[in-house]
Amino acid sequence: MKKINLVLGTLCLGLTMSAQPGIVETRPANDPSGKILTMEETILARELAPDNLYCQWVDSQNILMRKDGQWKVWNIITGEYRDYSAPRKMRDAYTQGQSLYLRIGPDVTTPIAVSENSDITYGQFVSRNEFGIDGGIFWSPDSSKVAFYRKDESKVTSFPLLDITTRTGSLKEIKYPMAGMDSENVRLGIYDIGSCTTVYADADDFGYDQYLTNISWSPDGSKIFIQVLDRSQKHMHLNMYCSKTGELIKTLLTEDNDRYVEPQDPIRFIKGSDRFFIYRTDNRDGYRNLYLCDTDGNIRRLTCTDADIDYIANDGKHVWYTSAEVSPVEKHLYRIPIKISKSAKTPAQVKIGKPERLTHEAGWHTIAMSPDCRHFIDSWSSLSVPRVTDLCKGDGKTVKNLLTAPDPTMDHAYTEISLGTVKSADGKYDNWYRLIKPKDFDPSKKYPVILYVYGGPHSQMVKNTYMAELRRWEMYMAQRGYLVYVQDNRGTANHGAEFEKSIHGQCGQAEMADQMEGIKMLMSLPYVDKDRIGVHGWSYGGFMTISLITNYPDVFKVAVAGGPVIDWKWYEVMYGERYMDHPDRNPEGYARTSLINKAKDLKGRLLICQGAIDPVVVWEHSLSFIRECIKNNVQVDYFPYPCAEHNVMGKDRVHLHDKITMYFEDYL
């Protein structure tokens, strides 16, 4: 979450610079007489989305896809279609309630682990889905064993959520580990199906509230690998365990960082080898690159580029990956040859060739590789290209175009969208933005500006995709006479470790400084009304919204913040302590970033919207800010959604965006 040479990026994009500084590429406006978006169409309808062709590999020769409204399986060799019926698993593991069960036949189940009490859950995600965790059940390659998480929340405090749908109202208690407070305990069990026995991995590197992440198996299932992270998230051990006994065999490598280590990926073994595997980290050379490792703990850099990389697949002869080395707003597929001789004992003895770029059209390429790596599906778009999906060979040669989507906005009055860059506040980086101009734009007129902001870790708001990742509400507002501006800043993804970790201990500070550089650029434009600038964001973006209007009260006239983090001490341990450290170790940072201390500085119009049963950013945040405004006799507007969680959905979402729009219409 890189310092990019703008000239190089522009050449690789195949674009020309316009007269306006910072603009790299522009999507021209459609016919201004076209249809104007309605709010329902903006929020709920899907007819204006690019016609994405859903494709998924069934095996190395068959692709599951939608055809004529039906699920079909297409054979890439014969070209024939057949009806699809989902295979029924004869053996499966699942959580029911808080206990874990094994299904061994159509009507036969057996318990693997039965929950002892309401604080203990088996087989579900842990650590609130951080560290790349998205589940809690991990099958061995031969399906003879299944590993699972055991989560103990007995020390975690509860937070009450109010359910108003019952006759007298009722409270639902959720476990919510706040920064600086007691957290959950996680263990990894390994169940042997043949013997019906369970052992637990001897993972006790850092004590009770450590994190066990990115579980993976050796190809023969004899070993299991865990990335064990301490609570401070500054130290990580990649450990190898015996899957039969749970005993620690050895620590293969360690990662240490004064700010934080953030493991995101399991290891992936090289096909045909039970010794060599691929590991991804940004902690060694400044960018998320791939490393070739062995089970003796030797490590060698595999990809040598100053760009963030995502692993795709390997067949034992090549490794495929996507990279941001052309530009941080583009993603392209590469492959690099590797040759492991029979005599190779360490990564240093493996022959690594030169990487080869396989995708060349400017834009963002999403890749689905076949199991045998002989083919891949390349689905891509760019600022002006809605969607192209191609079937390609493993060397990048196109076999067949599966979809070239028409422009779904052709009959709508979509306005001009520009993609460009502005320097970060420290002058080291190019931050990318999209700028949407109003309908019937007249450069001799003055227009109000809405800054839409998120700005938090793991986000990337601006990409060279169809309409540059536009959220349709932005176009809705542009069609009604607003300039809409969206920019990434330091702390966001795909620019390297230094860019991403610069926010550590002081969330919001570097982000605000970078966003203000974008605002300064906008204010230099002759058609921007400097006295009518508003800001809107949700979640981390809500935190940024209130941060901006209270820190720069003379710039921002109107703000709408949704589900905002107000004080990081009320946010969850896993995320909060990674970026802000423990409250006892960073009291100054927590005090500086707290918006409680900023309530008195509010001058403009601020609307806060909040889901009243939000389990992510709990109600304590926004209500505490309102209380502080009352204490300081500061007027603020507030609108709760009584039955909504963190993301307001369905018809409530239409109402929400009507409310947001009306607020800007009334006051900006």
**Which residues are designated catalytic?**
539, 614, 646
Cα(216)–Cα(141) distance, rounded to whole angstroms? Answer: 10
Among 31, 14, 54, smallest CA distance to 366 is for: 54
- Please report, for residues 110, 231, 385, 486, the alpha-carbon distance to residue 123 in angstroms, rounded to integers and kept in the order given: 14, 22, 42, 39
In the chain, the amino acid numbered 382 is S
Q: How many CB atoms lie within 10 A of CB 200?
A: 13
Q: Where are the extended beta strands (E) located within 234-275?
A: 235-242, 248-256, 268-269
Cα(525)–Cα(297) distance, rounded to whole angstroms? Answer: 56
Cα(608)–Cα(619) distance, rounded to whole angstroms? Answer: 12
Among 60, 63, 130, 129, smallest CA distance to 313 is for: 60
Cα(265)–Cα(393) distance, rounded to whole angstroms? Answer: 26
Among 282, 463, 461, 488, smallest CA distance to 365 is for: 463
User: Dihedral of CA 262/266/272/276: which sign?
Assistant: positive
Q: Which residues pair with 189 in a beta bridge?
A: 148, 200
Cα(644)–Cα(616) distance, rounded to whole angstroms? Answer: 12
Q: What size, in residues, is the chain?
A: 668
Cα(56)–Cα(400) distance, rounded to whole angstroms? Answer: 16
Cα(556)–Cα(559) distance, rounded to whole angstroms? Answer: 7
User: N- to C-terminal Cα distance for the chain?
Assistant: 33
Question: Exposed (0-12), middle (13-18) or buried (19+): which is 168, by Cβ within 10 Å?
Answer: exposed
* Backbone angles phi and psi of 471, in degrees to 5: -90, 135
In the chain, the amino acid numbered 433 is Y
Query: What proportions of the chain, in percent to the nearest 5, are helix, strand and coil?
Result: 15, 35, 45
Cα(83)–Cα(111) distance, rounded to whole angstroms? Answer: 35
In which residue are the tokens 């043949």 written? 194
Cα(429)–Cα(668) distance, rounded to whole angstroms? Answer: 32
CB 279 within 8 A of CB 267: yes
Cα(227)–Cα(261) distance, rounded to whole angstroms? Answer: 11
Q: Which residues pair with 390 in a beta bridge?
A: 378, 401
Q: Write out the DSSP string of 426-467.
A: TSS-EEEEEEEPPTT--TTS-EEEEEE----TT-----SSGG
> How far is C-alpha 294 from the geometric centre of its chain's CA atoms?
29
SS3 127: helix
In which residue are the tokens 């590789």 written? 369
- Please report, for residues 30, 120, 153, 312, 401, the alpha-carbon distance to residue 58 in angstroms, rounded to integers and kept in the order given: 40, 36, 38, 17, 19
